[in-house]
Amino acid sequence: MGTKGREIIGMDIEELLALLNSAFADEWLAYYQYWIGALIVRGPMRAAAVAELTEHAADELRHAQMLAERIVQLGGTPVTDPADWNKAANCAYLNPANPYIKAIVGQGIDGERCAIEAYTRLMKATEGKDPITYQIALSILQDEVEHEDDLQALLEDLQEMEQRR
């Protein structure tokens, strides 16, 4: 990367790249979890869930792009083999083996909670050291907080509907 751009980073670049690659792997796993979930989800309020899951999938893919661009800018290489995603990730892939809407949405909420913790950690690690990565982590964190809130609201609607029956 540019000489001055590298100079202003007040932390070990390899350590920074490892943190960015973990987040990058998280985003691909989250993208796929939402993408496949939107296709297979079944149950009440299916259309609302499909819309939310599809929107979140697009956001996670955009996050992967943001992280990959920063990795490349820093002179690193984003994880090139999907077989390495689980190993590099902060958050586990939650296989939507049960297509029932409450299971899929519940796994999404668990994933978002892990993502919120991971981006909070990335912000702490880069605060005052790499303002660019800090800003990227903050921007992604804002989306993950919104994702958790959207899915929790959907789950609450589902629970309310069940109680009325």
CA geometry: angle 84, 102, 31, nearest 5 deg:
30
Of the candidates 21, 28, 60, 122, which one interacts with Fe ion according to CB under 5 A? Answer: 60
Buried b (16+ CB within 10 A) or exposed e, 3-18: eeeeeebeeeeeebbe
Q: How far apart are CA 165 and CA 154, in angstroms?
A: 17
Binding to Mg ion in span 142-161, by CB under 5 A: 150
**Residue 13 or residue 90: which is nearer to Fe ion going by CB?**
90
Residue of 56, 157, 60 lying closest to 101 (CA atoms): 157
* 148 touches Fe ion by CB under 5 A: no
CB 126 within 8 A of CB 64: no
Interaction of residue 26 with Mg ion, rule CB under 5 A: no
- Closer residue to Fe ion in complex, CB, 27/52: 27
144: contact with Fe ion by CB under 5 A: yes
Backbone angles phi, psi at 130, to 5 degrees: -140, 90
Q: Give 13 or 62: the residue with its C-beta nearer to Fe ion.
A: 62
Is 20 in contact with 74 (CB distance < 8 Å)? Answer: yes
Closer CB to Mg ion, residue 53 or residue 64?
Answer: 53
Q: Give me the 84-123 binding string for Fe ion, x by CB under 5 A, dash otherwise.
A: ----------------------------------------
User: Contact positions toward Fe ion, by CB under 5 A?
Assistant: 27, 60, 63, 144, 147
User: Contact positions toward Mg ion, by CB under 5 A?
Assistant: 55, 150
